[in-house]
Amino acid sequence: MILLPVLALLLGFVLVYMFKLSVPPDYTDYVAVAILAGLDSVVGGVRGVLDHRFEPIVFVTGFFMNTAVAALLVYAGDRLGVNMYLPAIVALGVRIFYNLGHIRRSLLDRIMHRPLEHPSEAPEGFVAPPSP
């Protein structure tokens, strides 16, 4: 199940790469920002799954809105003479790394603080509090 998104990523890459599609050089900046926004959404989604507050509809709308808006914002910035490329990359980059850190800690938490199945697994000297 975890592998399915990873496989989809590879499949999408191979599909487009096989057909040798490419965007005009003028638009590579916008695609780059869109990719970063998409990556931010996916990383945020994974974090949501681990935090048990993943909402499919929120994720899907967020993914497509964020990619489109990020690219449009940079495009609009170019038209207006304001370089939005760098701020967009910084903002998205900070979020991606923050969420990646959260995911890592969440996963480590699961491995190290695995819930115990039987009293015999309890640490030495552990005394169960009286049940209320």
Partner 1 sequence: MGEKEVLNSHLRGWRPHLRLKPKDWVVPLTAASLVLGMMLALQFGSQKSAGELAGRPRVELLAQLLAAERKRIKDLDSEIVKLRSEKSKYEKAATEGKQVLTLMNKDNEMYKVALGLTPVVGPGIIVRVDDSTLPHEAGAAADEFLIHDFDLWPIVNDLRSAGAEAVAIGDQRVVGTTAITCVGRVVKVNDAPLSPPYEIKAIGSIKELTGALTIKDGVLDRLKAQRFPVNLEQGENIYIPAVSVGPKVKFAKPTKEAPK
Contacts with partner 1, residue ranges (CB under 8 A): 1, 4-6, 8-17, 20-25, 28, 31-32, 34-35, 38-39, 41-42, 45-46, 48-49, 52, 54, 56, 59-60, 63-64, 67, 109, 113, 115-117, 119, 122-123, 126, 128-129, 131-132
The least CB distance from residue 79 to partner 1, in Å, is: 21
The least CB distance from residue 81 to partner 1, in Å, is: 22
Cβ-based nearer residue to partner 1, 2 or 80: 2
| Cα–Cα distance for residue pair 62/48, rounded to 1 Å | 13
With both helix axes pointing from N to C terminus, report the angle between 28-50 and 85-112 in degrees, rounded to the nearest 10: 20
Q: Which residues contact 96 (CB under 8 A, 6 or more apart)?
A: 36, 39, 40, 43
The least CB distance from residue 78 to partner 1, in Å, is: 17
Q: Are 33 and 88 in contact (CB under 8 A)?
A: yes
Cβ-based nearer residue to partner 1, 6 or 80: 6
| Cα–Cα distance for residue pair 105/98, rounded to 1 Å | 11
Cβ-based nearer residue to partner 1, 20 or 79: 20
Q: Which residue has the tokens 């370089």?
A: 83
Cβ-based nearer residue to partner 1, 56 or 81: 56
